[in-house]
Chains A and B, each alone.
Chain A
Amino acid sequence: MSSADLLTVPVADPLPTPVRYRGVLRRQVVSEIRLVFRRRRNIAMLVVLAAIPVLIGTAVKLSAPRPGEGPPFVGQITGNGLFLAFAALTVCLPVFLPLAVAVIAGDAVAGEANAGTLRYLLTVPVSRTRLLLVKSMAVVTYIAAAILLIAGVGVVLGIALFGTHGVTLLSGNTVPLADGLLRAGGVGGYVFIDLLGLAAVAMFLSTLTEVPVGAMAGTVVIVIAVAVLDSVPQLGGFRGLLLTHHWLDYASLLRFHIDTSQLVHGTLVPLAYTAIFGTAAWARLSNADVTS
């Protein structure tokens, strides 16, 4: 073969760059959300969460508690329906919502690994970073839906059962309903950020195992352990760094003068957890051998 022949050998096109269609991220997220929201277990959890304000509302309607009796905010419900939403969120926050987050976020990667579908997603191909992003967006959507559902059912049912005569805050001041609803939105947002931190922890655990139940149980154990640590006064200021320490600080939103510095501090902690464990999950998934 002469050098002239060599020049005519077509060298081009060893790696044609494939055409990429628009709106891929949207397609992927929609597919993932559908997967999460069509699963019966996940629907059942939403039903249970929605039942909490119904149960509280019914109980309070049947026998009104004296002030200071029962869970926080329950005493205020008879005077103002809006407080049913706050009471329901407060009842759900320590156990029910973390459990739901643990199940959804713990299942995110480990569930695919366990079913063996992870290897087929990755060879589609989907980059590992993209997969984690899509999974996170579905988890975030589920958390938002759960909070909206509890608060929404609480507000509607509360107003239907107990009416609203202006919203009387914890500080005794009465504000118009619109102001009250705005504050309810603030509470929902605060709870949402609380749970983001937990979701990041659960997703990190989810990248460590091929057994989804392991990641779910691990998350619940962490929530309980942190709550125990938080009740040890000797830990002092360190407790302020615990994931759940500021979870209930949204009560500040229900006083006339909102303590914004407390709220900012309370949201910075879960946001820091989100950043740290989100990065850890990404680092772990990016380097993991997929052997399932």
Chain B
Amino acid sequence: MTATATAEPVSETATSLAVRTVGLTRRFGAHVAVNSVDLEVPRGAVYGFLGPNGSGKTTTIRLLLGLMSAHAGSVELLGGPMPLAAGDVLSRVGTLVEGPAFHPYLSGRDNLRRLDAFDATTDPATQAERIGAALERVGLAAAATKTYRRYSLGMKQRLGLAAALSRPRDLLILDEPTNGLDPQGTREVRALIRELAADGTTVLVSSHLLAEIEQVATHVGIMSAGRLLRQGSLDEVLGVTAALLRVETREPERAAAALRNLGLSVESASVDHVLVGLGGLEPEAINKALVDADVPVRGLHVERPLLEDLFVQLTGEGFDVVG
């Protein structure tokens, strides 16, 4: 265990962050699985934790929860130093780590009862009610008495979510929560995350389904080969100023000239359109300038870079993507 017990007096930044790691490092032999990661998840955020398989996401999550010990760096969860404060903090954290895991020969409800019985901070008097509500919430009420081994993959995933939701939580750490779910279930999980976030719960959700994340996340962090490459609000990371404006026109050359006059950099031009960097200008202003310059404009729309493009650019081999 790392000696990070000497938490400095809780500063304002510390309390406004639900998860904070500083220089978090974990090796497996010579392989550095998590390399000096400074994770910052603001309270109330839905933080999309992205990275290809084997990039160190799950190891990071295990380190956050005190399941593994770090070789360097520190972890703060809801303001408490981990793993020291685990007893005080983890009851406020709902988790789904590397897929659901339950006893196969117990029913879904009995599995939740078992976990609840082990929690020193839950009231046994409200157990049945809370577990019933959690099962209801994930749509598993009808299958509550079935043994776990008869569950389909999607039902297992739902039970895992129910365990995380069996009591009010301040922070949810969900590792691939939509794994194995059908499209309907995926939508439900998305709605669930939005609902929880609206109630003020911080959600850290890891996934490789980027479109998924883009729809619910307020913040993202991108891991690759053990390093946290980018982190911040979705807008920051995607770079709003780097968004492109696609101008559709029959006269791309005149359009390009007019746009250059505005001080914008033209990325590409073809026979029927011009792509130009927004450069901080409002699309409306650009449209006006084009009309003033008598450029016939057929269509105009903003193309925000997709998370997927950024992801591939950062984590894939495609260095040639950067223009």
Chain B residues near A117: list those with CB within 8 A: 101-103
CB nearest to A19 among chain B residues: B121
CA distance A115 to B10 in the complex (A): 38
For the complex, give the distance between the alpha carbons of A17 and B85 in Å. 10
- Among A19, A28, A123, A291, the residue within 8 A (CB) of B95 is A123
CA distance in complex: A17, B80 (Å):
11
Does A120 touch B at the CB level, under 8 Å? yes
Which of the candidate stretches B111-119, B179-187, B256-264 sits at the interface with the other chain?
A: B111-119
Q: Which of B75-125 contact A (CB under 8 A)?
A: 78-80, 85-93, 95, 97-99, 101-106, 113-115, 117-124
Whether a CB of chain A sits under 8 angstroms from the CB of B1 is: yes
Q: Please tell me which stretch of B65-73, B204-212, B230-238 contacts chain A, meaning at least 4 of its Cβ atoms lie within 8 angstroms of it.
A: B65-73
**Cβ-defined partner of B115 (8 Å) among A9, A124, A127, A134:** A124
The CA-CA distance from A202 to B106 in the complex, in Å, is 25
- Cβ contact within 8 Å between A123 and B90: yes
Contacts of A11 in B (CB 8 A): 10, 12, 15
Which chain B positions have C-beta within 8 A of A123?
A: 65-67, 90, 93, 95, 97
Across the interface, do B10 and A14 meet the contact criterion of CB distance under 8 Å?
yes
B122/A21 in contact, CB under 8 A: yes
Give the docked Cα–Cα distance between A30 and B117 (Å): 9
Q: Which of A24, A35, A115, A290 contacts B62 (CB 8 A)?
A: A290
* Contacting residues of chain A (17-31) with chain B, CB-CB under 8 angstroms: 17-21, 24, 27-28, 30-31
> Is A119 positioned at the interface, with any CB of B under 8 Å from its CB?
yes
Q: Is A229 an interface residue (CB 8 A)?
A: no
Knowing A120-B163, A123-B67, the reply to whether A35 touches B106 (Cβ < 8 A) is yes
Q: Once the chains bind, are A35 and B101 in contact (CB under 8 Å)?
A: no
Chain A window 112-135, contacts with chain B (Cβ cutoff 8 Å), 1 for yes, 0 for no: 000111011111111100000010
A126 to B87, CA, bound (A): 7
B216 at the interface (CB under 8 A from A): no
Are A124 and B90 touching (Cβ within 8 A)?
A: yes
Tell whether, in the assembled complex, residue A289 and residue B118 are in contact, meaning their CB atoms are under 8 Å apart.
Answer: no
CB-CB under 8 A from A257, the residues of chain B are none
Q: Is the CB of A15 within 8 A of B90?
A: no
Residues from chain B with a CB closer than 8 A to the CB of A40 are: 105
- A245 CB to closest chain B CB, in angstroms? 38
Could you mark each residue 141-170 of chain B with 1 if its beta carbon is under 8 Å from any beta carbon of chain A, else 0?
A: 000000000000000000000010000000
Instruction: Select the residue from B69, B95, B119 with max chain A CB neighbours within 10 A.
Output: B119
CB distance A125 to B102 under 8 Å? Answer: no
Contacts A15-B89, A123-B90, A124-B90: A20 and B120 contacting too (C-beta < 8 A)? yes
| Smallest CB separation, B34 vs chain A (Å) | 13
Name the one of B1, B80, B87, B101 contacting A120, with C-beta atoms under 8 angstroms. B101
**A contacts, CB < 8 Å to B:** 9, 11, 14-15, 17-21, 24, 27-28, 30-31, 35, 38-40, 115-117, 119-127, 134, 287, 289-291
Q: A14-B10, A124-B115, A289-B69 are in contact. List 12 more A-B contacts (CB 8 A).
A: A15-B85, A18-B92, A20-B121, A21-B124, A31-B113, A35-B114, A116-B101, A119-B67, A120-B102, A120-B115, A123-B65, A126-B119
| Residue contacts A-B, CB under 8 angstroms, 16 given | A11-B10, A14-B14, A14-B80, A15-B78, A15-B79, A27-B117, A117-B103, A120-B102, A120-B115, A121-B115, A123-B66, A124-B118, A124-B119, A287-B69, A290-B68, A291-B67
